[in-house]
Amino acid sequence: MNANTPRQNPAERDESAELLSRTARDLPSGRHEFHRERLMAQIHDMQREERTATAAPAKVRRFRLPRPAIALPALAAALAGIVVAGVTVSGGSGGGKGGGVATGPALTTQLGAATTKGVPQLLDQISLAAADVSQPAVKPGQYIYIESKTADTFVKTVDDKSSLASHALHNRQVWMSPDGAKGWLIDPAVNDSPEGETLSLPDEKGNPYKASLNAPSYDYLAKLTTDPDALLAKIYKETKGHGNSPDQEAFTTIGDLVGESYPPADLYPALFKAAEKIPGVVVVNDAVDAVGRHGVAVARLDETSGARDEWIFDKETHVFLGERTVQVRKVTSEGVVIKPGTVLYTSAITNRTVVDAMKQTPSQAG
């Protein structure tokens, strides 16, 4: 795939990786760490501490981690009474990390009709398109660069009154070395500094990096099987016990690898062919990415949370455009009604390529 063509879950993980994965899915209420995230690892280690505000405090609970990353269906966690990400901010409009992004009413969309008709044909077309497009090889010393536009929805509580709100659409840039050990993130919803923050490991606690399905480097992805059946079997095996169902977790895992990641060209078709074999996958004939591009979506409804994950592709070229999570069934969380059509998370890939240095953009190359 090229710069305009483009997310889990555990592989052979050691004890510390298992603990990190569980922490991301089951964050405790109150003070907790929501810190540094990994680009291709899809692990956000974002640190956010609850703090007392001088103005009317607002408590924020996100429905999805603002990467596209470790996909516990965050809405389901909220419904189960688990704080997915709690942070105290001042005035309800920002403050603390992520305060550089404005907030407003919850994002909504017109729900597209879903059908099982044409799923194999669409995924076959996407697989063929993916196999037919070349992408730059990643050499040692180079970095994978992915730029996107993202926004997310959360429950905001001010003076004991809760309502839905969304961060404004904002730019996100990530860099990652092929081995996954070095990286950088610029995302105002994650870190207030315009310079961003390092993703390089070991981190300040000395935690080493170990590649897995839940934390995939380019080098790790290059070694995965390209046989769709074997690949799907690996995904089911290594995500067993995670998410709301085995099928939803498998779908989410593939979506994360297709989204904010850089799989080698021959792995893309295998991922889509594997997705074709997951029960419950549907086609949504009209879906819109974060920047307003209309496309066709490969999607699956999480029966527990009532939210639908959608991978959006160009209708003609079948190039990957972005992804979103949309509420399909009416639910109530923390006393707030979440109506069908609420956009819980949305993302559009605007650039995906290889650069020669950390924090270098394609326009600076050459």
Confidence of residue 81 (pLDDT cuts 50, 70, 90): very low
What pLDDT was estimated at residue 4?
A: 35
In tens, the pLDDT along 119-154 reads 999 999 999 998 887 788 899 899 999 999 999 998
- Classified as helix, coil or strand, 253 is helix
What DSSP line would sit under 263-320, residue for residue?
Answer: --TTHHHHHHHHHTTSTT-EEEEEEE-TTS-EEEEEEEE-TTT-EEEEEEE-TTT--E
Q: What are phi and psi of 299, to 5 degrees?
A: -140, 165
Confidence of residue 203 (pLDDT cuts 50, 70, 90): low
Least confident of 62-66, 208-212, 308-312, 315-319: 62-66
In tens, the pLDDT along 21-50 reads 332 333 222 222 222 333 322 323 332 223
- Classified as helix, coil or strand, 2 is coil
Q: Minimal CA–CA distance to 85: which of 178, 150, 161, 23?
A: 23
- Predicted confidence (pLDDT) at residue 62 exceeds the cutoff of 50: no
What pLDDT was estimated at residue 159?
A: 85
- Classified as helix, coil or strand, 234 is helix
- Predicted confidence (pLDDT) at residue 111 exceeds the cutoff of 90: yes
Contact predicate 245/236, CB 8 Å: no
Contact predicate 66/59, CB 8 Å: no
Q: What are phi and psi of 19, to 5 degrees?
A: -65, -40
Span 231-255, mean pLDDT?
Answer: 94
Could you check whether the bond before residue 188 is cis, i.e. omega within 30 degrees of 0?
A: no
Confidence of residue 288 (pLDDT cuts 50, 70, 90): very high
Span 100-123, mean pLDDT?
Answer: 93
With a pLDDT cut of 90, the percent of the chain lying above it is 53
Amino acid at 40: M
- Classified as helix, coil or strand, 116 is coil
In tens, the pLDDT along 306-324 reads 999 999 999 999 999 999 9
Rg (the chain; Cα; Å): 19
* DSSP symbol at 251: H
Map tokens 């997951």 to a residue. Answer: 278
Contact predicate 311/279, CB 8 Å: no
Higher-scoring residue by pLDDT: 333, 246: 246
6, burial (CB in 10 Å: exposed 0-12, middle 13-18, buried 19+): buried
Q: Indicate the pTM of the whole model.
A: 0.75
What pLDDT was estimated at residue 99?
A: 62
Q: What are phi and psi of 27, to 5 degrees?
A: -65, 135
Q: What are phi and psi of 230, to 5 degrees?
A: -65, -40
What pLDDT was estimated at residue 210?
A: 84
Span 268-287, mean pLDDT?
Answer: 96
